[in-house]
A and B are shown apart, each in its own frame.
Chain A
Amino acid sequence: MPINIMRTKIISAVAMAAIASAFSIAPVFAQAPAARKNTSGVTEAQRMAVLGAHGDKEIDVRVQSLNKLIARIQGLRNISDAQKSSIENTLQSIVTNLQTLKTQVDAATSTADLRSDDKAVIDNYRVYALVMPQLNIIAASDRIVTISQMLGSVSQKLQSRLSSASAISNLSALQSDLSDIAAKAADAASQAQAAVSEVSALVPDQGDKTKMASNTAALKDARSKIRAAQQDLVAARKDAEAIIQALVKWDKSVMSSSAAASSTEAASSSQQ
Chain B
Amino acid sequence: MSNAAKTGIAIVIIIIIIIIGWIWYNNSQSIPQPTATPTTQPATASTSTQSQSQSPNLSGTGMTAPSDTSTASLQQDMSAVDSQMSGLNTDSANVDSGLSSGTAVPVQQ
Contacts and interface: CB of A to CB of B under 8 A. Distances in A.
A11 interface: no
B97 to A, nearest CB: 8
Contact of A143 (B55, B58, B87, B102): B87
Interface of A: 3, 27, 30, 33, 65, 69, 72, 77-78, 118-119, 122-123, 126, 128-130, 132-133, 136-137, 139-140, 143-147, 149-151, 153-154, 156-158, 160-161, 205, 207, 209, 212, 216, 219-220, 223, 226-227, 230, 233-234, 237, 240-241, 244, 247-248, 251
A140 B55 CA distance: 20
B81 A154 contact: yes
Given A136-B94, A251-B71, A119 B85 contact: no
Contacts of A27: 105-106
B109 A33 contact: yes
Contact of A220 (B71, B88, B99): B99
Contacts of A146: 57-58, 61, 84
Contacts of B85: 147, 233-234, 237
A237 B106 CA distance: 41
A237 B102 contact: no
19 contacts: A3-B57, A77-B57, A119-B109, A129-B101, A133-B98, A140-B91, A140-B94, A146-B57, A149-B57, A151-B81, A153-B58, A216-B99, A223-B95, A223-B96, A226-B91, A230-B88, A230-B92, A233-B85, A248-B71
Contacts of B95: 133, 136-137, 140, 223, 226
A234 B88 CA distance: 11
B78 A247 contact: no
**Interface footprint category on B:** 35 or more
A247 B73 CA distance: 13
Given A30-B105, A140-B88, A244 B81 contact: no
Contact of A122 (B66, B78, B97, B108): B108
Question: Max chain A CB contacts within 10 Å: which of B66, B75, B78, B99?
Answer: B99
B109 A216 contact: no
A144 B88 CA distance: 7
Contacts, number: 133
Contacts of A30: 104-106
Given A154-B74, A157-B77, A237-B85, A207 B108 contact: yes
B71 A219 contact: no
Interface of B: 55, 57-58, 61, 63, 66, 68-69, 71, 73-75, 77-78, 80-82, 84-85, 87-89, 91-92, 94-99, 101-109
A223 B88 contact: no
Question: Max chain B CB contacts within 10 Å: which of A144, A150, A160?
Answer: A150
B109 A237 contact: no
A122 B106 CA distance: 9
Contacts of B80: 150
B108 A244 contact: no
Nearest to A251: B71
Contacts of A223: 95-96, 99
Given A77-B57, A78-B57, A143-B91, A209 B84 contact: no
B109 A150 contact: no
A144 B81 CA distance: 11
Contacts of A161: 69, 74
